[in-house]
Chain A
Amino acid sequence: MIVCGAVQAKTGMVEWVWRQIGVELPAEWECLQFARDPEAGRCAFADRHRYRFELNWRKSPGEPDFGRMMKDYEGSLAKEWEGIRKVKCRGWPGLTGKRGGEVVSRFGKYLEEIGVLVEAVFIDAGERDDRLEAKILASVRAVPPEANGMQLWRAFGMEMRVPRTFELGECVVEPARVGMRFDGPRSPDRWIFRRYGMVKTWLKTPVREWLVSQAGELARNVKFKPGGGGAAQLERIEGEWRPKGLLLRRGAYAAAAWKSPEDGRLYHAICITGRKSSRFHPAAADAVMTACPEFLCIPAEGDA
């Protein structure tokens, strides 16, 4: 499921949930680098002028020896950094020092719930901002799958919930166009979430027509379903998914699109699944589904 992400910038901090790691960051910091690898990777965030924060993760079977790790770190960074010293913030052990004209601080923590070692890196142009560091470190949390088997993702202005067995297969981020595809363990299961900007300049047809045009020729017998209405003017379609090829599994296709009245962006959610009826239910049970209450998806029995 997907929720319009226009709420950002009102509170000053926005939560980012990626690979089961949640962190609250200033709304003006944008993610410019990301990794899809669940084993190890990095997301890097920048303000207008420079990178400000990095979130590194690595799967680990157990909590590492932080004392030894910090010592190793200190040794390896001593050549690059000046005035390197150990610090602790909100229970996170770390190191800070000067690198060129900037202050870099690194903190590490093991998130036991999800078995991931997390490293938070702060980069400041002038002096270290300890208050902001403390605020951000306090917000870092493990986001395990919910009781209903859904995994929360919150990124690039979208809030998505996908079955926990689904993997992030593709993520495309371009100006005014973001797309994230989650692939299920069995073909053709896949959920796709897209967010488009500058809608007035390119969308010359009603959202309903555009939604049908996006279904493509592999979606057959497409029918309109009652939309959510409201200010977002949600449109929904459902049909059959018939890929070309004798051995490729057929399934069901469902999609929803709506223009958010808050940020003027167009949101598009697609769900392709091998089993039709168990995936969708038109209920408004989830409080966070403010923009798209009709596109609530529940996991199939085998996925939860």
Chain B
Amino acid sequence: MSRRAQTAAAPGAWDDMLKAVLIPNRAARVVREEPDGSLTLAVPTRKPSFFRGLINWLVRVPQERLTVLDPLGAGIWKSCDGKRSVEEIAVRFATFHHLSFHESRVSVTGYVTSLLRRGVLAVAVNPRG
């Protein structure tokens, strides 16, 4: 009780994040879909400015970056349709895999973060106001 000033503070204010909507990158395309459900996505890359000109002629920069999603990840990616919120996706994932809400939330947001970094997804925070 000595830490009374700290107690009941909510360090994990995840509410805004739950309301966010995930939008798939329209430029991303499915390269391959395996029978087990895993997916290979190709996302166009943007050339850094120094790659224009002479260096571009010497070094070939790949025009697309491939991202392989395992069956679980592919399921999450397919759920990101630009309409469903993170909360809805987490609930869906929890129901399908018999997880608790927060187990699912941590799994989904962790995975989504990696997809955001790879440019496969974009996030719209609180689009409904």
A-side contacts of B7, CB under 8 Å = 42, 54, 56, 106, 119, 121
Which segment, of B21-29, B53-61, B93-101, B117-125, faces chain A?
Answer: B93-101
The A-contacting residues of B in range 67-126, CB under 8 angstroms, are 71-72, 87, 97-104, 106-107
The A-contacting residues of B in range 5-64, CB under 8 angstroms, are 5, 7-8, 10, 12-15, 18
Contact string against B for A residues 50-76, beta-carbon threshold 8 Å, 1 for contact and 0 otherwise: 110010101000000000010001001
Bound Cα distance A76, B118 (Å): 48
Bound Cα distance A198, B72 (Å): 10
Determine if A49 and B98 form an interchain contact, defined as CB atoms under 8 angstroms apart. Answer: no
Determine if B8 and A54 form an interchain contact, defined as CB atoms under 8 angstroms apart. Answer: yes
Bound Cα distance A264, B98 (Å): 7
Known: A73-B4, A123-B10. A197 touches B106 (CB 8 A): no
Known: A76-B4, A76-B5. A197 touches B99 (CB 8 A): yes
Known: A42-B7, A48-B87. A197 touches B103 (CB 8 A): yes
A-side contacts of B18, CB under 8 Å = 48-49
Interface size class of B (residues with CB under 8 A): 20 to 34
Bound Cα distance A94, B105 (Å): 33
Determine if B10 and A50 form an interchain contact, defined as CB atoms under 8 angstroms apart. Answer: yes
CB distance from B10 to the nearest CB of A (A): 5
Please indicate which of the listed interface residues A121, A174, A175, A201 has the most CB atoms of chain B within 10 Å of its own CB.
A175
Bound Cα distance A175, B100 (Å): 9
Interface size on A, residues (CB 8 A): 35
Say whether A263 faces chain B, with CB atoms less than 8 Å apart: yes
Determine if A49 and B8 form an interchain contact, defined as CB atoms under 8 angstroms apart. Answer: no
Say whether A28 faces chain B, with CB atoms less than 8 Å apart: yes
B-side contacts of A89, CB under 8 Å = none
Say whether A104 faces chain B, with CB atoms less than 8 Å apart: yes
Bound Cα distance A40, B1 (Å): 8
Bound Cα distance A23, B119 (Å): 45
CB distance from A42 to the nearest CB of B (A): 7
Q: Closest residue to A80 on the B side, CB-wise?
A: B5
Bound Cα distance A42, B1 (Å): 9
Determine if B72 and A51 form an interchain contact, defined as CB atoms under 8 angstroms apart. Answer: no
Determine if A197 and B98 form an interchain contact, defined as CB atoms under 8 angstroms apart. Answer: yes
A-side contacts of B101, CB under 8 Å = 28, 30, 48
Say whether A32 faces chain B, with CB atoms less than 8 Å apart: yes
A-side contacts of B2, CB under 8 Å = 40, 58
Say whether A77 faces chain B, with CB atoms less than 8 Å apart: yes
Q: Closest residue to B12 on the A side, CB-wise?
A: A32
Determine if B4 and A77 form an interchain contact, defined as CB atoms under 8 angstroms apart. Answer: yes
A-side contacts of B104, CB under 8 Å = 175
Closest 3 pairs (CB-CB, A-B): A175-B103, A175-B107, A121-B8
- Which residues on B are within 8 Å of A, measured CB to CB? 1-5, 7-8, 10, 12-15, 18, 71-72, 87, 97-104, 106-107
